[in-house]
């Protein structure tokens, strides 16, 4: 099992390279910062940090239940959606006789849920246009399959599967397999006409779990609050398996306030739309092949080893995500930043891509 490889922190790059200005476009963070309503709630709640949090996270679960139309008892909460992925592995996997199916490349923490349980990991390659290949994933199902993970939009590629594709998968999937729709980038894609919203499946009784986060559009990556929705029996099992106080009190209070901040979400989504257009445009201009993205980053095949490009950008004070750690060595993933940050990236990548190709 490989340890998770996060993007380089700004402070570390400054120390290593002696740079004064460094921008980070590697971790899909919100360039507009956290929800202002959440910040105000955090400041007030900090005065009660000596008190244990509400173990049931009642107020946040009630807020999520009301906002998204899912019964309270079917709302999941975790220390980031990473923890919910881990808990799904704990609940569903018992050892080498069990297996999970994932796309490849996709979010690496799905892999960990299998490794930590000693269960089998089945990786199904993405299609040539970097989308989940749902027919191939269905064909990979065996009597030992317990979980099938679909990141939608997918990380690291930003691509979507459609409602009609998910409908077909569910219609043909054996009863014993639970589909996990990881919707970490939900707000960026929800306006797509054929987007398969996990809530609709869960409320209609399908064997589906939906995962979401406040790290992206709401800008709360630093306090770790993930949530989700599940059928009653799965929600009950997750609740039994989790730690008693798995979501801290500051995260709970900030989460309630953030869910009310529709204006911050609107501004974030609009800034993201402009950023995606700018990033895709520069990659196309340079002869690279960017994937159509429905998340807050662009994944582009450079047609050459990406690690030297990553390093050259790093030396210019720009942190991006190299594809070799994501299973795609000729690709880069670049998060949407502010207009200024994107302009600096465009200037740098145009300069770097003129340099000779190196292995």
For 132-180, the pLDDT digits (tens) are 999 999 999 999 999 999 999 999 999 999 999 999 999 999 999 999 9
| Shared-domain flag, residues 217 and 291 | no
Residue 280 and residue 175 share a domain:
no
Alpha carbon distance 213, 320 (integer Å): 22
Calculate the CA 311 to chain-centre distance.
Answer: 24
Q: Provide mean pLDDT across the span 115-126.
A: 97
Interval 250-300: pLDDT, tens? 999 999 999 999 999 999 999 999 999 999 999 999 999 999 999 999 999
| N-to-C CA span, the chain | 27
Q: Which helix (H) or strand (E) element contains residue 227?
A: strand 226-229
Domain check: are 286 and 303 in the same one?
A: yes
pLDDT digits (tens, 9 = 90+) for 185-227: 999 999 999 999 999 999 999 999 999 999 999 999 999 999 9
Shared domain for 235 and 286, answered yes or no, is: no
The enclosing H or E element of 335 equals strand 331-335
Instruction: With respect to residue 5, please indicate whether it lies within any of the assigned structural domains.
Output: no
Range of the domain at 76: 37-260
pLDDT at residue 9 is higher than 90: no
Count of domains observed in the chain: 2
Strand residue runs (E) in 40-168:
75-78, 99-104, 120-125, 145-151
Distance CA 16, CA 41 (A): 36
170 and 252 in a single domain? The answer is: yes
Residues ≥6 apart with Cβ < 8 Å to 340: none
User: Taking 60 as the threshold, does the pLDDT of residue 359 lie above it?
Assistant: no
The CATH number covering residue 154 comes to 3.40.640.10
Note whether residue 135 is domain-resident.
yes
268 and 144, same structural domain?
Answer: no
Q: 167: which 2 tokens?
A: 């409908």
Residues 21, 99 within the same domain:
no
């Amino acid at each position: 099992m490989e340890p998770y490889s996060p993007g380089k922190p700004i402070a570390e790059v400054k120390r290593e390279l002696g740079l004064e200005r460094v921008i980070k476009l590697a971790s899909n963070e919100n360039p507009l910062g956290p929800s202002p309503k959440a910040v105000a709630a955090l400041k007030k709640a900090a005065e009660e940090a000596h008190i244990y949090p509400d173990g049931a996270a009642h107020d946040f679960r009630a807020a999520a239940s009301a906002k998204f139309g899912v019964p309270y008892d079917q709302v999941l909460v975790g220390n980031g959606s990473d923890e919910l992925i881990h808990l799904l592995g704990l609940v569903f996997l018992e050892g080498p006789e069990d297996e999970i199916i994932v796309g490849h490349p996709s979010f690496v923490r799905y892999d960990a849920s299998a490794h930590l349980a000693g269960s089998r990991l089945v990786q199904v390659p993405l299609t040539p246009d970097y989308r989940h290949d749902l027919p191939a994933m269905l064909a990979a199902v065996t009597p030992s399959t317990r979980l099938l993970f679909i990141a939608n939009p997918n990380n690291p590629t930003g691509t979507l599967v459609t409602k009609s594709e998910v409908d077909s998968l569910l219609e043909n999937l054996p009863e014993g397999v639970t589909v996990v729709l990881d919707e970490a980038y939900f707000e960026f894609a929800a306006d797509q006409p054929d987007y398969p919203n996990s809530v609709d499946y869960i409320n209609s009784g399908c064997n589906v779990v939906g995962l979401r986060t406040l790290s992206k559009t709401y800008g709360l990556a630093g306090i770790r609050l993930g949530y989700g929705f599940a059928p009653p029996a799965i929600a009950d099992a997750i609740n039994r398996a989790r730690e008693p106080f798995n979501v801290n009190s500051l995260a709970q209070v900030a989460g309630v306030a953030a869910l009310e901040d529709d204006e911050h979400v609107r501004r974030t989504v609009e800034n993201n739309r402009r950023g995606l257009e700018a990033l895709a445009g520069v990659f196309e201009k340079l002869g690279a092949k960017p994937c159509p993205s429905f998340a807050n980053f662009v994944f582009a095949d450079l047609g050459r080893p990406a690690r030297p490009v990553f390093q050259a950008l790093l030396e210019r004070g720009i942190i991006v995500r190299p594809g070799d750690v994501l299973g795609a060595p000729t690709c880069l993933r670049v998060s949407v930043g502010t207009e200024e940050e994107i302009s600096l990236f465009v200037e740098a990548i145009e300069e770097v891509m003129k340099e000779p190709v190196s292995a």
